[in-house]
């Protein structure tokens, strides 16, 4: 090409309405895994955003249809790998509904405690990552992960693994609490509020954080409800919907706790909701640690191997840290489910990403994605 052609291209009038297409991801630190956003930019402003996912597709549902009912529990750990225990619980609960098993009371208390600890892990990690997306590199994430490690130590001493816990079984739990576990958890719960205070002193009043989050990525109540958004994302818009209250599954009906609600549905509300939820989780943990009864931890009727539930279907759902996590199982009487389907909160919360990002700058799109709280293991399955 001649030099003249290039200079004539350069000489064209400034393209006011020419859009710049940017492919953000899949290997980008701010996309929280292998996730890609095809963004069309007008200057710095997002005018079109297309989420592209599937890079982490592992065929989980089909594998689970070929596995025994027991065999897919370790695979559920790998859905949302930050909160393996809540995934275990949702699956175990669905199989219990399908096979007519009832978990003993002690097992239900253990489940509540573990899932609240998981919520602490998830929310503190999310707060750390969100701040990292905003440019607070390292420090908040390091503080959050320091607390997370302490909870992971508890998980390891109970379940044998830090992240892939594989602990809950249909009809109860795999093993009883080791000696001293309750005391360790109690001291962790007693020390956690000081971490939260510290974290809030570090960040909540910070002017940069307020400037980056207030009024950014506003999600309206109507859109959130219509799109099926659940979890902290939905509550940040002001809709009072928490499955722990609505269904009162397990023994949640026995604990007194409040459901924090946002007002504007912007990124700041979504951040704040998580901090407040952690405080409520601590209240539930205190009550559960006080009231946990002695007794068996698994239903004696529960048969781990060769479980063949009667033909039928069941849908079990729990309030996972990210939203409504549901499992839908159809049994045809065989040793493996005929159909196995997951309702992943991350994926459904991600569907409104474009609506939140339109008209925002590209830097804010990253923050908005961070506030949605996705884990690609669950989005792609």
In this complex, which beta carbon is closest to another protein, that of residue 77 or of residue 266? 77
For 292: left if phi > 0, alpha if psi spans -120 to 50, otherwise beta; the answer is beta
Q: 90 or 251, CB closer to another protein?
A: 90
Sign of the dihedral through C-alpha 26, 27, 29, 32: positive
Nearer Cβ to another protein (224/272): 272
Least Å distance, CB 190 to another protein, is 12
Indicate the burial class of 370 (C-beta count within 10 angstroms; 0-12, 13-18, 19 or more).
buried
- Closest separation in Å from C-beta 318 to another protein: 21
CA gap 255, 326 in Å, rounded = 22
Interface residues toward another protein, by CB under 8 A: 67-68, 70-75, 77, 139, 143, 146, 149-150, 153, 156-161, 164, 166, 174-175, 178, 191, 198, 201-210, 304-305
Question: How near is the Cβ of 301 to another protein at its closest, in Å?
Answer: 17
Cα-based angle 79, 346, 175 (whole degrees, multiple of 5): 35
For another protein, the closer of residues 99 and 347 by Cβ is 99
Rounded least distance, CB 91 to another protein, Å: 13
Q: Using the minimum distance from each CB to another protein, give the nearer residue, 50 or 58.
A: 58
Provide, rounded to whole angstroms, the least separation between the CB of residue 290 and another protein. 24
Report the C-alpha gap between 356 and 155 in whole angstroms: 36
Dihedral-angle region of residue 373 (phi above 0 means left; psi in -120 to 50 means alpha; beta otherwise): left
- 8 A C-beta contact, residue 218 and residue 265: yes
Least distance in Å: CB of 352 to another protein?
30
Q: Which is nearer to another protein, 40 or 157 (CB)?
A: 157
In 3D space, the residue among 78, 81, 84 whose CA is nearest the CA of residue 60 turns out to be 78
């Amino acid at each position: 090409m001649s030099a003249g052609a290039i200079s004539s291209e350069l000489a064209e009038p400034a393209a006011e309405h020419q859009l710049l297409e940017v492919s953000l991801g899949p290997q980008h630190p701010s996309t929280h895994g292998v996730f890609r956003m095809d963004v069309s930019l007008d200057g710095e402003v997002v005018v079109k955003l297309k989420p592209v996912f599937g890079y982490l597709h592992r065929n989980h549902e089909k594998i689970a249809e070929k596995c025994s009912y027991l065999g897919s529990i370790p695979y559920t750990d790998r859905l949302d790998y930050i909160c393996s225990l809540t995934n275990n619980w949702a699956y175990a609960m669905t199989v219990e509904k399908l096979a007519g098993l009832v978990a003993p009371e002690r097992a239900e208390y253990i489940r509540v405690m573990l899932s609240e600890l998981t919520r602490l892990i998830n929310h503190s990690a999310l707060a750390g990552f969100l701040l990292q997306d905003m440019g607070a590199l390292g420090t908040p994430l390091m503080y959050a992960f320091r607390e997370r490690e302490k909870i992971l130590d508890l998980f390891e001493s109970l379940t044998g693994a830090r992240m892939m816990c594989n602990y809950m079984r249909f009809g109860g739990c795999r093993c009883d609490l080791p000696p001293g576990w309750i005391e360790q958890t109690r001291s962790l719960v007693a020390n956690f509020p000081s971490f939260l205070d510290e974290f809030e002193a570090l960040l909540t009043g910070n002017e940069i954080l307020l400037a980056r989050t207030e009024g950014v990525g506003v999600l309206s109540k109507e859109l959130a409800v219509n799109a099926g958004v659940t979890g902290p994302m939905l509550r940040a818009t002001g809709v009072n919907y928490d499955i722990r209250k609505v269904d009162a599954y397990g023994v949640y009906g026995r604990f007194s706790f409040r459901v924090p609600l946002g007002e504007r549905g912007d990124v700041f509300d979504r951040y704040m909701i998580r901090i407040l939820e952690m405080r409520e989780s601590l209240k539930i943990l205190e009550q559960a640690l006080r009231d946990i009864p002695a007794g068996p931890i698994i239903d004696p009727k529960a048969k781990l191997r060769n479980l063949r539930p009667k033909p039928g279907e069941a849908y079990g759902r729990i309030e996972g840290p990210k939203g409504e996590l549901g499992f839908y199982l159809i049994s045809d009487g065989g040793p493996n489910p005929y159909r196995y389907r997951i309702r992943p909160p991350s994926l459904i919360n991600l569907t409104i990403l474009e609506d939140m990002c339109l008209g925002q700058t590209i830097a804010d799109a990253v923050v908005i994605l961070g506030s949605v709280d996705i884990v690609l293991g669950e989005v792609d399955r």
